[in-house]
C-alpha cells in the first residue's frame, strides 16, 4: 500500500521545472524587476545570489513567459568550451547549425551582430555564468556592445568573493538584481503552496507554525535546503507510516521527525 507521504516526498524533488514555480511575494518582485530591466536598453543584467535562492527557476520562468513576445534563449548549462558556446550562439543568430569541426570567427560574429542592430534584439539567459572564464566573459561583453544581443547573467554569490568587484563586470553591468533566502513567512507559504498544488491538503495542514519556524531555523530560508529537508522529512514519515504507524501523528508532524531529518542532513551535529 502506498503511503500518503510518498507523493509529498516527490513534491520536493529539486528541479527547475516551470510547473514547479511557486509565486511568492519575493519571487513576484524579482520577476517584475527582471522583466522591467529586460525592457530597458541595457547590455547586460546580472542576477546573483547564494546557491538555492531561485536564480535558475526565475530565469526559466522568464524564458517561459516571454518566449512568445521576445527572442529569448535560455542557456541552462554553461558550455564546456568557447567553441561550443559560439556554436550555440551561431545557431541562435542564424538558425543554422555549424559543422562540428568548424571554428567560429569571433570578429565576423561581432560584425554580423552589429549588422543586425535595429532589426533584431536577442535576449540570452546565461545560467551558472561563474563557470565562464574571464576571456569568455570579455567576449560576451563585446557581443553585448553590438546592442543586438542582451545578456542576462546568473552567478553564485559565494562567501569568499564579491563578484561585483570583478573588473570585467564593473563598467559592463548596468543592472544588478540580487536574490535572497526566503523569510520565515515566504518559506512557509512556499511549502504550503507546493503541497497544495498537488492536492496534499491534509499534509500541508499537518505542518503548523512551530514546525515551519523549526524548518526555517535549519534551512535559513534557502529553497534548495528546504527541498532537501522536506524530502528527507517525508521520507522518514513514509517509513513510519508503512512500518510503525504508532510513531506518526497525521494531524501534526512531530518535531522529533523534523529533527531526525536535520540530523540526517547534517544541520544538527550530534
Positions touching another protein (CB under 8 A) are: 235-236, 238-239, 256, 259-260, 263-264, 268, 270
Q: Supply the minimum distance, in Å, between the C-beta of residue 225 and another protein.
A: 19
Q: Supply the minimum distance, in Å, between the C-beta of residue 237 and another protein.
A: 10
DSSP string, 170-226: HTT--EEEEE-PPPHHHHHHHHHHHHHHTT-HHHHHTS-HHHHHHHHHHHTT-HHHH
State phi, psi for 23 to the nearest 5 degrees.
Answer: -85, 115
For residue 82, how many other CB atoms are within 10 A of its CB?
16
Q: Supply the minimum distance, in Å, between the C-beta of residue 127 and another protein.
A: 33
Angle at 62 between CA 168 and CA 126, to 5 degrees: 30
CA distance 204 to 230: 12
CA distance 111 to 244: 69
Task: Rank residues 152 and 248 by Cβ distance to another protein and give the closer one.
Answer: 248
Q: Supply the minimum distance, in Å, between the C-beta of residue 257 and another protein.
A: 9
Task: Rank residues 4 and 70 by Cβ distance to another protein and give the closer one.
Answer: 4
Task: Rank residues 220 and 264 by Cβ distance to another protein and give the closer one.
Answer: 264
Task: Rank residues 91 and 256 by Cβ distance to another protein and give the closer one.
Answer: 256
Share in percent of the chain as helix, strand, coil (round to 5): 55, 10, 35
Task: Rank residues 178 and 259 by Cβ distance to another protein and give the closer one.
Answer: 259
Task: Rank residues 132 and 218 by Cβ distance to another protein and give the closer one.
Answer: 218
Q: Supply the minimum distance, in Å, between the C-beta of residue 256 and another protein.
A: 6
Helix boundaries (H) for 67-182: 82-94, 106-115, 134-145, 167-170
Q: Could you give the C-alpha distances from 101 to 87, 105, 141, 195, in angstroms and in order?
A: 10, 13, 25, 48
The sign of the dihedral angle between the CA atoms of 198, 201, 207, 213 is: positive
Q: Supply the minimum distance, in Å, between the C-beta of residue 5 and another protein.
A: 11
Amino acid at each position: 500500500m502506498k503511503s500518503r507521504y510518498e507523493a509529498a516526498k516527490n513534491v520536493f524533488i529539486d528541479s527547475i521545472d516551470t510547473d514547479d514555480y511557486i509565486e511568492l511575494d519575493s519571487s513576484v518582485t524579482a520577476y517584475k524587476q527582471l522583466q522591467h530591466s529586460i525592457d530597458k536598453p541595457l547590455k547586460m543584467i546580472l542576477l546573483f545570489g547564494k546557491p538555492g535562492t531561485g536564480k535558475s527557476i526565475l530565469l526559466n520562468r522568464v524564458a517561459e513567459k516571454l518566449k512568445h513576445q521576445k527572442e529569448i534563449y535560455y542557456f541552462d548549462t554553461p558550455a564546456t568550451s568557447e567553441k561550443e558556446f559560439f556554436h550555440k550562439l551561431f545557431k541562435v543568430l542564424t538558425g543554422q547549425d555549424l559543422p562540428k569541426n568548424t571554428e567560429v570567427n569571433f570578429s565576423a560574429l561581432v560584425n554580423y551582430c552589429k549588422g543586425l542592430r535595429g532589426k533584431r534584439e536577442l535576449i540570452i539567459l546565461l545560467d551558472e555564468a561563474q563557470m565562464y572564464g574571464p576571456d569568455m566573459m570579455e567576449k560576451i561583453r563585446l557581443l553585448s556592445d553590438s546592442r543586438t544581443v542582451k545578456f542576462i547573467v546568473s552567478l553564485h554569490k559565494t562567501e569568499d568573493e564579491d563578484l561585483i568587484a570583478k573588473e570585467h563586470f564593473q563598467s559592463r553591468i548596468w543592472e544588478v538584481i540580487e536574490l535572497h533566502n526566503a523569510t520565515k513567512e515566504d518559506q512557509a507559504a512556499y511549502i504550503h503552496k507546493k503541497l497544495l498544488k498537488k492536492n496534499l491538503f491534509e499534509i500541508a495542514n499537518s505542518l503548523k507554525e512551530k514546525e515551519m519556524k523549526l524548518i526555517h531555523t535549519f534551512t535559513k530560508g534557502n529553497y534548495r535546503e528546504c527541498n532537501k529537508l522536506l524530502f528527507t522529512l517525508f521520507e522518514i514519515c513514509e517509513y513510519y507510516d508503512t512500518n510503525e504507524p504508532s510513531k506518526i501523528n497525521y494531524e501534526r508532524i512531530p518535531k522529533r521527525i523534523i529533527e531526525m531529518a536535520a540530523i540526517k542532513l547534517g544541520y544538527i551535529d550530534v
